[in-house]
Every structure is written in structure tokens, then in C-alpha cells.
């Protein structure tokens, strides 16, 4: 297990390859708030957070980090930090209230201002079109094939409006998390617990991705186009054939069904005795796969942790909470022993970051475009000290270990040599509303007081600024 008690910011900064992009990332539903400002209509997360018992601390999306009103302050923080890029998402229901019709003028004005201030500060905008905030009007959500068409239409509208100022377009973020937590386990919006009957949402999200790629290219956007998938290396908990089979099953449903169609043009083969679980992919139209697998300019990879899988039903524990539905599955997730953990209880295992990169390289080879790490970060119980400052040494170590591990993995002689790794986005710029965890988990390098909105850069912010200042000084 890697460990750096006192990461040397200057040494890490000096080791960054020329042109390697460093950014921060956020999502609109987690930071913007302002549900009553302008004409933003409800998203599935607004609806979900209003249901008793859904959110850990009973908080809602109404204010979150209040980025809607503090946009300039947040851009100034990024400018002072010295990052190259900022990855943010467009609030679908802010720009297209009720999920239909033309873009809203007030929504356009908000994102026009954000893009213009970023560019004025020399910060490259990377835009995610769909980061989980689906309009509530789409009653069946991603179970409905028509939602894919709606995403494509929305992508065309925002591409035409903002395409002259965006350097990177991400069609959809972590479709695996949407399918698994939102439709299979009931932990995230819209809160359905369908287990393997949730698999149609995989295909519809990927089809929406492909239609969005087509729409963005038709709009003539100047920025590159990609998708973001979350990858987790899967390890059998024991040496039995059953553990190995179930680990392989989890690898398919978490990693491969989302990446293989995009990069290889087909869904993965599964052992014959598991094929019945994947009936949703049995008769996928060839023309759909052609849309889904269009060449991309880059591939976004999110990494947070590995997964340890054992055969047999468990207590329903998942990385994002306990699900009664999960206890009905033929496998269970177990804790990695001997690793420190984040506030979420996720294992801090940077060596598996190298494994994730190596797996992607080995599986997709020449079909893999240039890669950006579009999210990597950790939640900790960060609190201001007596002097008002926030010392998050754990996050400093986490980021140093993971960034250096990724760079070493793709370097000559590294386990993932051959990947064209272009950049790394820290999740997250600021503490935010962490979905079903509400305000109980803090991922930011900037502390947010959720009562007052006050921003306080943490020691991880200072450390990253020092590293970025040292670039090119080896």
C-alpha cells in the first residue's frame, strides 16, 4: 500500500508532463442550488430529495453550495489555484425547463457568464451535458428509449449555443452509477430497485450518448467530445470458482457493459450460465451499436476504489448505502482489510488506480482514444480548526498518491504504458451536496459553510496551488 506522509508538492508539480492538464470538477445539481431562481423546473433529484428518508441528513437541492449566486467568487478561487481547466455540468432543467422546447434565456445567461469568466481567467471549460439531473417529466426516466432521443436533442441545443467556447464535451457522466444506484438498488434518484430489470437503462443511456455525439458534431462544436465512465477493478474475495464467477459478473455490470459498447461496438460476452440475466442485450439493433460506438476524441475515466466481491447473498451493503434489494443478489461486496478508508468507508488503494488503467489499456487497445481522469478525490470529515483553517492532510496524501500512481502507470515501463493520458480533474472544487449523503460527506479542496456559504480554501487547495506553481521547474 502506497503512503506518502508529507507529499512534496514542488516535486510532484515539477514531474507533471508538458501539456498535462490539471483541473477541478463539479456537477450542477450538487453546487448550484437556486431552485426558485429563474425558471428551473424540478429534476429527478429535486423530487427524490423531497421524499422522507431518501437523504441522509434530510437536506435538499434548494441551496447546496449556492454557486448560482457565487459564480464569480468560485471562478476567482480557481484562478488563484492556477488550474488549467474546470469540468462542470449544465443543469438540464435550468436550461430547458420541463425537458422540452427551446433553451431558457435566464439559463443561457447564467452559463454564458460562467463560460466567459472562465475564459477570461485562462481556464479551459469542460462541459458535462447530463450529470444525473434528469427532468421529472420523463416519467420512466432511462427505462424509456425516448429519453435517449431527448438527450440528443438537448445536446444539439447546447452545442449550438455554447459550442464556440467549450474545449471538452462529456455527453453523460457515470451511467453505471445511474443504472446501479438509481434503477437497480434504489439508493439514488429515481429510487427504483429493479435489480437486473434495470439493464435497459444501460442501453438507453449509451444510445443517448451516441445521439449526443451526433448532435454535437452536427452543431459544429470546436471542442473534443467524449464520455465519462467510472471504472473499479474487481477482486474475488476468495479462491473459489464461485467467487471468481461473481467477481466476473460484477465486473461486467459495473465496468464492461458501459465501456465495451462505446469502445468496441458490442456488449460483452458472459458465461452461459449467467446469460439469462442479460436478456436486455439479446436483440440490440445493430444500428444502435453503430450510433453508440462512434469514434471519440477522448475517454473520461473516473476512479475512486476497487471492489471486493464474494459469492452468496449479503446484508445489502454497497459503497453508497445499504439497499434491501442488493441482499437479493447472488453476490455481496466485502471490505478490503488493511486499507485506510475515506469518509464514505471506501478503501484508499491507489495501486488499484494503476490496475484500472492497465485493464482499460488491455481490453480496448487501439480502440481507446486519449484519456482524461475526469474525477478522482475523497471525502473526509473536514472541519475548521480554532484558527478557522481546514487541515485536510488525508486528502493531500490521497491526491498525491493517486496522481503520481496514474502518471507512473502510463509512463514508459509502467503497467499501463501506451495510454495517452492527457489530464486529471480533482473531485471536487468545493464541498457540495453529495447526493443521497446530503451534506454529510465533503469532497472539496475548498470548504463550504452550508449555513453561510462562506468558502475557505483547505490545505489541499494550498498544496495543489504549490504543485501547479512548480510545473516545468524540474
**Residue among 375, 417, 434, 466 flagged as catalytic:** 375
What residues contact residue 286 under an 8 Å CB cut-off, 6+ apart?
A: none
CA–CA dist 107, 156 (Å, integer): 16
CA–CA dist 134, 140 (Å, integer): 11
| Assigned C-alpha cell, 403 | 496522481
Is the separation of the CB atoms in 142 and 176 below 8 Å? Answer: no
User: Is residue 153 annotated as a catalytic residue, yes or no?
Assistant: no
Is the separation of the CB atoms in 381 and 442 below 8 Å? Answer: yes
Query: How far from 89 is each of 3, 71, 172, CA to CA, in Å?
Result: 33, 14, 9
Phi/psi region, residue 472 (left: phi>0; alpha: psi -120 to 50; beta: rest), is left
CA–CA dist 178, 171 (Å, integer): 14
What residues contact residue 364 under an 8 Å CB cut-off, 6+ apart?
A: 259, 263, 264
| Assigned C-alpha cell, 119 | 475564459
CA–CA dist 264, 274 (Å, integer): 21
CA–CA dist 268, 253 (Å, integer): 10
Give me the residue label for grid cell 432511462: 142
In three-state form (DSSP H/G/I as H, E/B as E, the rest C), the secondary structure along 219-245 is HCCCCEEEEEEECCCEEECCCCHHHHH
CA–CA dist 193, 187 (Å, integer): 8
Cα 372–377–379 angle (5° rounding)? 160
Query: How far from 16 is each of 22, 188, 356, 425, 470, CA to CA, in Å?
Result: 9, 37, 20, 14, 9
**Active-site residue set:** 375
Amino acid at each position: 500500500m502506497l503512503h506518502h506522509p508529507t507529499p512534496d508538492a514542488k516535486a510532484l508539480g515539477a514531474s507533471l508532463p508538458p501539456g498535462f492538464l490539471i483541473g477541478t470538477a463539479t456537477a450542477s445539481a450538487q453546487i448550484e442550488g437556486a431552485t426558485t431562481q429563474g425558471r428551473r423546473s424540478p429534476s429527478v433529484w429535486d423530487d427524490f430529495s423531497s421524499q422522507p428518508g431518501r437523504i441522509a441528513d434530510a437536506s435538499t437541492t434548494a441551496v447546496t453550495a449556492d454557486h448560482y449566486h457565487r459564480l464569480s467568487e468560485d471562478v476567482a478561487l480557481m484562478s488563484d489555484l492556477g488550474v488549467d481547466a474546470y469540468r462542470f455540468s449544465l443543469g438540464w432543467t435550468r436550461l430547458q425547463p420541463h425537458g422540452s422546447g427551446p433553451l431558457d434565456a435566464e439559463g443561457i445567461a447564467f452559463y454564458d457568464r460562467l463560460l466567459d469568466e472562465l475564459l477570461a481567467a485562462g481556464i479551459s471549460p469542460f462541459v458535462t451535458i447530463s450529470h444525473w439531473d434528469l427532468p421529472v417529466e420523463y416519467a420512466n426516466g432511462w427505462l424509456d428509449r425516448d429519453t435517449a432521443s431527448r438527450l440528443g436533442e438537448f445536446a444539439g441545443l447546447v452545442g449550438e449555443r455554447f459550442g464556440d467556447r467549450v474545449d471538452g464535451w462529456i455527453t453523460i457522466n457515470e451511467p453505471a452509477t445511474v443504472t446501479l444506484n438509481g434503477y437497480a438498488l434504489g439508493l439514488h434518484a429515481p429510487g427504483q430497485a429493479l435489480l437486473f430489470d434495470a439493464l435497459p437503462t444501460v442501453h438507453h443511456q449509451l444510445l443517448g450518448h451516441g445521439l449526443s455525439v451526433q448532435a454535437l458534431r452536427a452543431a459544429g462544436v470546436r471542442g473534443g467530445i467524449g464520455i465519462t465512465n467510472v471504472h473499479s477493478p474487481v477482486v474475488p474475495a476468495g479462491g473459489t470458482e464461485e467467487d471468481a464467477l461473481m467477481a466476473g459478473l460484477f465486473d461486467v455490470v459495473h465496468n464492461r457493459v458501459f465501456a465495451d459498447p462505446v469502445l468496441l461496438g458490442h456488449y460483452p460476452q458472459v458465461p452461459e450460465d449467467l446469460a439469462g440475466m442479460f436478456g436486455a442485450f439479446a436483440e440490440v439493433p445493430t444500428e444502435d451499436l453503430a450510433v453508440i460506438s462512434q469514434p471519440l476524441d477522448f475517454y473520461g475515466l473516473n476512479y475512486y476504489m476497487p471492489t471486493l466481491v464474494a459469492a452468496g447473498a449479503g446484508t445489502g451493503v454497497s459503497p453508497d448505502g445499504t439497499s434491501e434489494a442488493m441482499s437479493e443478489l447472488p453476490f455481496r461486496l466485502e471490505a478490503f482489510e488493511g486499507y485506510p478508508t475515506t469518509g464514505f468507508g471506501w478503501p484508499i488503494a491507489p495501486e488499484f488506480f494503476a490496475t484500472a488503467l492497465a485493464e482499460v489499456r488491455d481490453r480496448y487497445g487501439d480502440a481507446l482514444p486519449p484519456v482524461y481522469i475526469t474525477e478522482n478525490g475523497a471525502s473526509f470529515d473536514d472541519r475548521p480548526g480554532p484558527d478557522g483553517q481546514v487541515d485536510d492532510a488525508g486528502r493531500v496524501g490521497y491526491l498525491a498518491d493517486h496522481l503520481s500512481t496514474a502518471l507512473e502507470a502510463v509512463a514508459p515501463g509502467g503497467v499501463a504504458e501506451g495510454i495517452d493520458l492527457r489530464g486529471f480533474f480533482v473531485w471536487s472544487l468545493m464541498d457540495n451536496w453529495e447526493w443521497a449523503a446530503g451534506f454529510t460527506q465533503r469532497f472539496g479542496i475548498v470548504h463550504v459553510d452550508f449555513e453561510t456559504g462562506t468558502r475557505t480554501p483547505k490545505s489541499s487547495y494550498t498544496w495543489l496551488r504549490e504543485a501547479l506553481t512548480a510545473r516545468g521547474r524540474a
